[in-house]
């Protein structure tokens, strides 16, 4: 079973909480521990469905994204694939 999703990894807990507050009322997001495969200063990441990516990018267009990582996670039979995405 494939379960692809996107995460935003943060450089600080303050950023993680700020982005969670910003997105929680409009999107199905989940605060999760940052994946081991992702190198980030903060141990928290926001997880959301791939289908919400475009809408979330539009919603966050005016945010400072310094220190943030946008990552697509693809789970397949051969293992987990981490795909860095570019902020637009």
Say which DSSP state 87 is in: -
Question: Of how many residues is the chain composed?
Answer: 88
- Is the model's pLDDT at 56 over the cut of 50? yes
Tokens standing for residue 48: 């959301």
Strand order in the sheet with 29-33: 29-33, 44-48, 5-9, 69-76, 79-85
Would the pTM of this model clear 0.75, i.e. be above it? yes
User: For residue 74, what are the domain limits?
Assistant: 5-85
Give the pLDDT score at 1. 40
- Percentage of the chain beyond pLDDT 70 is 97
Question: Alpha-carbon distance 64 to 87, whole Å?
Answer: 11
* Number of domains observed in the structure of the chain: 1
Whether the per-residue pLDDT at 2 is higher than 70: the answer is no
CATH assignment of the domain containing 21: 3.30.70
């Amino acid at each position: 079973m494939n379960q692809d999703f996107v995460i935003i990894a943060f450089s600080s807990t303050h950023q993680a909480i700020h982005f969670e507050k910003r997105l929680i009322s409009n999107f199905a997001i989940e605060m999760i521990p940052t994946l081991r495969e992702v190198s980030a200063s903060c141990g928290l990441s926001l997880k959301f469905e791939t289908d919400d990516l475009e809408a979330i990018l539009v919603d966050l267009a005016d945010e400072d994204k310094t220190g943030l990582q946008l990552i697509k996670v693809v789970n397949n039979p051969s293992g987990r694939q981490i795909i860095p995405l570019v902020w637009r």
